[in-house]
Structure 1
């Protein structure tokens, strides 16, 4: 079973962050996805999880009023 793409059809590159605002992949990660091994796809998903955690759980997120 192949790991599905994390694309959610919100394809907009965040120039400051360097990755897609929808799937959190960089352009090189997006272009390599279809030919990547399962291990590489999992590595990309792990990078995505780290980016999301930094964005949503990082210091800036905790500084937001509740």
Structure 2
């Protein structure tokens, strides 16, 4: 089972997806290492566990190629501010 699957199921404390390969792809606006957007990266430290799991779910979708490039988790304090997934 992948780390993302363990995180999704709540089997572990939610770790950061950072793999220390911090380069933003200009085409996707996502980190090439962890596949998070800059908003997701900056919001990580204030997200609760459910918000962090939502980021992991979007990362899984990006890895599988099923999430649109602009699918992102809304950081706290944004319009929705819920840490929920939005797709545009």
> Which structure 2 residue ranges, 5 or more long, are not aligned?
1-11, 67-88
The alignment covers a number of residue pairs equal to: 55
Larger Rg: 1
> Within 2, Cα distance between the matches of 1:21 and 1:31?
16
Computed over aligned residues only, the root mean square deviation of the Cα atoms, in angstroms, reads 1.4
| Alignment match, 1:36 | 47
Greater share of residues in helix: 1
| TM score, norm. by length of structure 2 | 0.59
Tell me whether 1:16 sits opposite 2:27 in the alignment: yes
| TM score, norm. by length of structure 1 | 0.78
